[in-house]
Structure 1
């Protein structure tokens, strides 16, 4: 028969699993392995191991969860579980023992340590099983015949009392009974059983005896009994009572064990456990060096402070304090001086507290003051100046005089209406800014700026989601040449079909992504959608080119041409010259040489290039001279006002002249009336775009508009050319 112990090793890391298995196989163990909690539970169900080595941190099902499930099952609850983990915090160990583990080994471990612990717990478990077996045998022995009881009666270490079940008179006791309670045998025999019980227990014992007589002949546990000793003290006992055959009466036999010493030990263990829990509770919530609340307790105090601030209407300030240059002081003066310095700092800060305030230590040289009941910035500033002054007082030791300064970051609730952890983080950020600005000062967290940044981030995330849900659409505004009456193309203008706010123009959402990488993703989508639309119109026999607006940062991406090539390759049926890229002349085009290289590369791919809103920037002439753009688009603000504003008219005339001089096409944006068109024609510009020609429209409306162009008024104007 193979009597080797079965060991189950559970770890989601195959290397750790192999290392542990190899260690255990040095001993005569049968070792089984499981890579997850679920596999381990199935393995236990098939073959019950003698001991389990269980990793804590596993995906899907943690070691704590596996242990709890084992302990909840009657069939597996007594399997010893040793946790093995890299986590060494007190909280993790408390959770391990709370889940039902019997030991906790910290990674990295020594092979001999693992083997010693496994052998020890196997031996302890064997002793436990042996004790359980012995208890079972003793119970069976109590159920045997009267002859067996008589043989064992006098030699039994248990106090044995035989009494008449009807009269409750004692008919026999053994020597262990007389020794345990100090009464001689003659005091027992013939006396009522009740003389040795307290009154309340006497009644309970009678009820137990009646129940045994009426309903069962099985042994019944007495529970805890307190009996009176001959010297007046109490003896703590427990035992069993059962029916027994005895000459001359219907008898019960009561067998008692003295547990007085055990109860004393148990009480001592309870006291020690309570003391340990108190120490553990202290270590969980307080700093060992200074006795101050730690981060965990501080977080709860902040939550309470938030509730109080809401009730009173006053402010709550979270002040994050970091001692400047403490690491250097620690290296120079040593750990002992540094610890005394931290304790002194804690006392200085304590002296600044007012009623209801909290001081906590959250790091090596980091403290947090939670200040309640603040009514103004002036009051808070005065408080912080007092704190800085107290901290700057010299610290005198036997070997050194040390002067400190501190950087303090502050955030105020409810101006900063975040949760406790976020308030701490904001105060920490402000403290870092105080250090960057020169140390020895305090900085207030900009809650409004944080909200703006968060709102922008949330807007961008909403747009990312909108792009994945295909909520963006392109509208198209025609461009025409009045001299030839030809439609020269359309400009793609993005819209957001918002599920709640309806159709949003670009000004409602594009500003949020001007400096964000999402502008590139959205720009790629616009180009791809425009190419797809050219293909769809081409299939209908409609030959229309599309110009798309691209952000400057998108254009200047190092891989812009490669991405453009990929998009064009995905639509091989799009004719060359059908796509034009527009970039705002007022955009930040820092590297003119790079922009020109992109324009040349685009032209090689058959993609045109246009400078949009020309004339609105500071470098128009520079761009015109350095960039070989095919088209200049005059900004609509000049076109709209040129009838009344001579300055705008001069700019429009100048741009048209420059375009002619540099042999560039020119398109006037914002043409809303025939009068605008006549004046532009007189200045030499005949390509127009604007509400007077057509408003932006969905792609499905474009073919119908093309069929109707030109309408009579524009046709008449064109005939006069």
Structure 2
């Protein structure tokens, strides 16, 4: 690339700042054009394309008088522009009749700004507003005129022109408070004389790289400013023709703080500030690697606060939150610095002990944990006694991977509950009845489909504003002659673990879509059907083709199917998950984030994946009429979702008061016992038929 071409490119890139053009590009309601000293178009926004009919490719490089100026005004416009350039006689804002590409005349209110860059080249910007609606156009023109002037004064970047050796020749800064030191202290000096050594060396290294590779380089650095620690991004380009470099410095302190906040929210529990499930399991994996390398034991303690739900429900969420915070603090006081305590969710905590060599070390820590909870909690003028049950799993005896150890510690915790609570239990293969029931459930699950033991119930969903039925969620139920009714909370994790969730999920999909066909035909309504997908189903390579075939066989359009996923599906971050969700979106199937608010990284998932629907968990809906915190959280969630283009469904609506509040908050759809509990297919047909009578 020639030096003159580089110079031209850099002049355009840095004199016409990208935030300015991003603003203009986002505005379609007004026309913004930029012209050089020869009146040639250097900028032409979308508003100009819409107003005058020329694309930016057609306009760029053409003179203003050849594009939009009528014949009778050309000489006046040319002279006026020349007088502004040479005599500094400004062109006043005025109403003027111009010409579109198709030859038609158009009246606009035109205002102008002349901008002189650091090379003393003048660039004129015109803002034209269609005067079809004169009053509105005049108000907008006045506003935009002031806005443009403000923008030119508010460009935040700092510009420095330097010799190749780092000597500072010139600078530009609209706000001189952004300078590290005053201009008279650095003009003519080498940056090594005015910047801290570490930062100066970074600049020298990147200047050298820019010159050698003939490419723009950038890097970030932190600098102690008079107002505090700041973070900056520097971009360096080589002006080869002049043997100089252009350095553009942008303050990214706020972005850096936001990124740090997002990272913290992704890995730490917002209430207790402890590592969340994701970070705790990641640390457990690292601990197991160290334990294997050093031939040591590692211990996982699974903790559950006894009767916390009762205290939370009876005393309120505020007291419950304070109990969780104080519990987290007590747990940390007992542990060594090298150990980890994390919050898995709700009232469940996990403790990871590394570098243990003896079994009794874990026993001593468990006893100290129980002892720490013997003192009453003093919260809100009350003294509350809170105990906990602890399950203990030891590496490598009780498992060699994080998931096995966590599951076995969880099982041991339930054994501690069965022993009377306020105690601990070590995991053993023979330890508890819950494991025996698990085996029985797993045994009976094989063949349950063939024996027709599964049945779908459907919970209707309603439009929050007019209370019309808009669809339903399909919910799986299981009755086994030997075990009786088995809850989804019991059998779904087992089906997931054994892989039986795949054929069971296919059964659910077929039944739900076949019923949807029957339901739509019966009521002549375009109902939707929501079906849950579990993590294991995403590993099924035939998932997408099965869904497509079932839609085709049921004669159901993909837009009437909604697939619900929870954070558990997304936490692994596996590429096949992302690919499957993208393919689901491409099929036109709606994608719903289920149980929103109960996880740890839901906001980041909404950015990463193509969700259409967000379902607010029933635990928050239950509290919206009871406490301001839940109300504000639901209100913010609905507003955020709508700003992202998401439809919002509130789960667990049980009272008219909840419905009215959600309606006031512009919630889209409602689901809950207030309208209907989950019911079998035939009952739903009867229910919807009666509902519209």
Alignment TM-score, normalising by the size of structure 1: 0.35
Structure possessing the higher relative contact order (Cα contacts under 8 Å, 6 or more residues apart):
2
Alignment TM-score, normalising by the size of structure 2: 0.37
Rg comparison, structure with higher value: 1
